[in-house]
Amino acid sequence: MTLAIDTPGSKHNITGARQAYYDKIAKFHLAPLWEVLKGLVTPEPKTQMVPALWKFPEVEKLMLEAGDVITAEEAERRVLVLENPGEPGKSRVTNSLFAGIQLIMPGEIADAHQHVASAIRFVLKGKGAYTAVEGEKSSMEHGDFIITANWAPHDHGNPGKEPVIWLDVLDMPTVNHFQASFANHFDEKMQNVNHEDGDSFERYATGVLPDGTSDAFMKRSPVINYPYAKMRPILERLKKTGDVDKRHGARVRYANPINGGPVLPTMGASLALLPKGFKGEPYRSTDGTIFAVADGSGTTTIDGKPFEWGVNDVFVVPPWKRYSHTVTGGDAVLFSISDRPAQEALGIWRESN
């Protein structure tokens, strides 16, 4: 095809000829890369996700209302999805992660099931409930970090006297991106429990390993629950010795005790103490990060906008958005989780001030 370039209206001729060509190749399910290249290979990360914060007093009220609207049995999981305002209706808080707030009332059981998507629970309020994973029934208390690995059978129950509310984060958007989702429901409401509460922590996270430890644990942590009561004193030790990062505070990374790697191949989590008067330096990274406030109060400025937070609030920082933390009262503790392990495995993770 020859395009006229030296006659009046040649620009119009070129545009029309090109469009005719594009229409022609579309019939063969082909498209011109040069028309979309700039949008595919961007100089910096671009995202539709926006910063957002969910205040716990508001969420708690709505969750308790949900307890009147539907039972745990009817819902399978009574969860309110934390939808990123940048992409409503997509059931995701970042491009790669799902987040929601789950409620279980006294006397309820959330039946046993399993799925390919890995999940974590970060307990916000209440005690007396449990999560049973792979035969270990783990009690749930404020600040506990509980893991449900890929395809691990799990159920929840609340034999206690008060509602229990926690943050769920799952890698469902990642799994669904690969179109690799599977799930299974069991005839029994609860799985058989043959390990004491805290058994996996004592077996694997105390400096020794049982002989014959499974090679499967090289990919994900064997520990079911990292109790807040055991994590918080470590943060205090870091603060006491001055091991306080200027951006993140006195921060620890939840680790797989088998190899020191992330607890899950798709998600990694941290816990950070921000001392009284802390004014963090700016930071950004390619992993969109979900934060939950375990203790204290403060403000996180994200992309120039301040978000004030208190205990049990949840907020999200989208990828490559610059943020900094400031503490307004006494010491504060922030839990965080992101897809950093997946990005590192692919060699695409990056950070900057």
3-state secondary structure the chain: CCCCCCCCCHHHHHHHHHHHHHHHHHCCCCCCHHHCHHHHCCCCCCCCCCCEEECHHHHHHHHHHHHHHCCHHHHCCCEEECCCCCCCCCCCCCCCCEEEEEEECCCCEEEEEEECCCEEEEEEECCCCEEEECCEEEECCCCCEEEECCCCCEEEECCCCCCEEEEEEECHHHHHHCCCCCEEECCCCCCCCCECCCHHHHHHCCCCCCCCCCHHHHCCCCCCEECHHHHHHHHHHHHHCCCCECCCEEEEECECCCCCCECCCCCEEEEEEECCCCECCCEEECCCEEEEEEECCEEEEECCEEEEECCCCEEEECCCCCEEEEECCCCEEEEEEECHHHHHHHCCCCEEC
How far apart are alpha carbons 157 and 141 in whole angstroms?
Answer: 13
Q: What is the pLDDT of residue 8?
A: 54
Confirm or reject CATH 2.60.120.10 for domain 52-352, answering yes or no.
Answer: yes
Residues 341-349: contacts with CB under 8 Å, at least 24 apart:
341/261, 341/262, 341/264, 341/265, 341/266, 341/267, 341/268, 342/96, 342/171, 342/174, 342/265, 342/266, 342/267, 343/286, 343/287, 345/265, 348/286, 349/285, 349/286, 349/287
pTM (predicted TM-score):
0.94
Q: What is the pLDDT of residue 1?
A: 45
Q: What is the pLDDT of residue 155?
A: 95
Tell me if 287 sits within 8 A of 349, measured CB to CB.
yes
- C-alpha closest to that of 80 among 205, 170, 167, 181: 167
With b for 16 or more beta-carbon neighbours within 10 A and e for fewer, the 227-241 pattern comes to bbeebeeebeebbee
Q: What is the pLDDT of residue 2?
A: 46
Where do the structural domains in the chain lie, given as residue ranges? 10-40, 52-352
The pLDDT tens digits along the chain (353 residues) read: 444 455 556 677 899 999 999 999 999 999 999 999 999 999 999 999 999 999 999 999 999 999 999 999 899 999 999 999 999 999 999 999 999 999 999 999 999 999 999 999 999 999 999 999 999 999 999 999 999 999 999 999 999 999 999 999 999 999 999 999 999 999 887 878 889 899 999 999 999 999 989 888 999 999 999 999 999 999 999 999 999 999 999 999 999 999 999 999 999 999 999 999 999 999 999 999 999 999 999 999 999 999 999 999 999 999 999 999 999 989 999 999 999 999 999 999 999 99
How far apart are alpha carbons 289 and 106 in whole angstroms?
Answer: 32
Q: What is the pLDDT of residue 7?
A: 57
Q: What is the pLDDT of residue 191?
A: 77
Tell me if 119 sits within 8 A of 220, measured CB to CB.
no
CA distances for 285 relative to 269, 307, 322, 343, angstroms: 15, 19, 8, 11
